[in-house]
């Protein structure tokens, strides 16, 4: 039978959001003894007083404060990232670095005069090179030629 202002370790662990045995160990370290014990079959049910509740609430408050600090830090980083992106700078780069051009074609287009830009067909300039599949096929062909040569 439970009396007023008594708490079982299960109730305390739910408040602290910790493991049952962790809560019991913390209470033992603080020197808080159960007010009463009751045997139910082979189990012993312990009941702790209000001082145990205070300890557990302090643990919960410390965890909540740590979590709030972590969320505030994340929010500050997100705000800083948004400011840098608005200025066109990368998050990890230095403040004075210029914005990186996306493709070499854009760089070439900016360097050429207007007349040459119109005359030059930029679609003919490949900025990627051969595909991986083409490279693998060419390598396999060369290996096969070497094997054929050494078999003769």
Q: What φ, ψ does residue 42 adopt, rounded to 5°?
A: -90, -5
Helices 9-16 & 20-29 angle (0-180, nearest 10): 100
Give 117-151 pLDDT, tens digit per residue: 655 554 555 556 677 788 888 899 999 999 998 88
Higher pLDDT among residues 107 and 47, named by residue: 47
Cα–Cα distance, 114 to 71 (Å, whole number): 51
β-pairing verdict for 36-40 and 43-47: antiparallel
Q: What mean pLDDT do residues 57-84 have? A: 94
Give 17-39 pLDDT, tens digit per residue: 989 999 999 999 999 999 998 99
Helices 20-29 & 50-87 angle (0-180, nearest 10): 110
pLDDT of residue 84: 82
The secondary structure element, H or E, covering residue 47 is strand 43-47
Percent of the chain clearing pLDDT 70 (strictly above): 72
Cα–Cα distance, 105 to 75 (Å, whole number): 37
- Catalogue all structural domains in the chain, each as residue range(s) with its CATH number: 1-96 (1.10.1660), 101-152 (no CATH)
Q: What mean pLDDT do residues 53-81 have? A: 95
pTM over cut 0.85: no
């Amino acid at each position: 039978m439970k009396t007023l202002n008594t708490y079982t370790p299960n109730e305390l662990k739910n408040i602290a959001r910790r493991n049952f045995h962790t809560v019991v160990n913390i209470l033992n370290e603080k020197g808080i003894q159960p007010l009463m014990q009751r045997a139910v079959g082979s189990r012993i049910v312990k009941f702790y007083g209000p001082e145990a509740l205070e300890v557990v609430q302090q643990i919960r408050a410390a965890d909540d404060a740590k979590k709030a600090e972590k969320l505030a830090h994340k929010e500050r980083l997100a705000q800083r990232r948004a400011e840098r992106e608005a200025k066109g700078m990368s998050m990890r780069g230095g403040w004075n670095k210029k914005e990186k051009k996306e493709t070499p074609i854009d760089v070439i287009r900016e360097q050429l005069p207007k007349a040459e830009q119109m005359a030059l067909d930029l679609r003919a300039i490949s900025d990627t090179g051969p595909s991986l599949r083409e490279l693998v096929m060419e390598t396999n062909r060369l290996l096969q030629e070497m094997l054929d040569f050494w078999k003769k």
